[in-house]
Amino acid sequence: MPQGTCPECKATVHVDEDADKGDTIECDECGAVLRLVGLDPIELDLESDYEDDEEDDDDYDDDDYDDDDDGRDRYY
């Protein structure tokens, strides 16, 4: 099982085999919520560091544009 180091208490944190980048893991030692930021090697960051970080916006919806104003069937 892959292991990382808790940035908070330096304890060894076991990371699930099928964990993926961006997953959060709780440190058994200090209870800090850690985010998996790298897989090879395992890199963990405190989740609280990411509170204001919106760049990892997975549920961004690329809304279909409602193309009711394209002029393809209009003839001027």
Report the interface residues with Zn ion, using CB under 5 A: 6, 8-9, 11, 27, 29-30, 32
Residue 43: count other Cβ atoms within 10 Å of its Cβ: 16
Identify the CA nearest to 4 among candidates 34, 47, 48.
34
- How far apart are the C-alpha atoms of 64 and 1, rounded to whole Å? 42
CB of 20 to Zn ion, least distance (A): 21
**Is residue 4 within 8 Å of 13, Cβ to Cβ?**
yes
Among residues 4 and 72, whose Cβ is nearest to Zn ion? 4
CB of 24 to Zn ion, least distance (A): 13
CB of 22 to Zn ion, least distance (A): 19
Among residues 6 and 25, whose Cβ is nearest to Zn ion? 6
